[in-house]
Amino acid sequence: MDTAGQEEYKALKDSYMARGEGFLLIYSITSRQSLDVIRSVWREQILRAQDKDSVPMVLCGNKCDLETERQVSKEEGESLAKSWNIPFFETSALSKQNAEESFHSLVREIRTFKTKNNDKKDHKKRMGCKFL
């Protein structure tokens, strides 16, 4: 949720984080600070709001059409995504490069996550002793 830094949207942001099924974590390749905020704040806030160890996420380095202004290497984004075990894309809202692909990837992550969690719930239901 892009709140443009406006504090009046904080409660709305927290609500979205608690109820969201998946998240695109988007930073600008032209701003090291934007990646640092994703790394140190956003991911942890989402996990805390969801009260889970893992949530479907995709990391996106946006503005890849501005290569001459790059401050964050593609390898750094890939490495961070790999350490979190989530997909990574470099995208451009301007040229639409990888825009659809990143959303499709998030949907796949959500479906996989739900399938795994349903399997765990079903397994727990089947476990245990039953007396007739």
- 80-123, pLDDT tens digit by residue? 999 999 999 999 999 999 999 999 999 999 999 999 887 665 55
Q: Which helix (H) or strand (E) holds 58?
A: strand 57-62
Distance spanning both ends of the chain, measured CA to CA = 52
Decide: pTM greater than 0.85. no
Phi, psi of 110 (to 5 degrees): -65, -45
Tell me, rounded to whole angstroms, the distance of Cα 100 from its chain centroid.
15
- 36-47, pLDDT tens digit by residue? 999 988 888 899
Is the pLDDT at 132 greater than 50? The verdict is: no
**Domain covering 10-119, topology:** Rossmann fold (3.40.50)
Band of residue 131 on the pLDDT scale cut at 50, 70, 90: very low
The owner of tokens 């479906």 is 111
Domain ranges of the chain: 10-119
CA–CA separation, 25 vs 42, rounded Å? Answer: 8
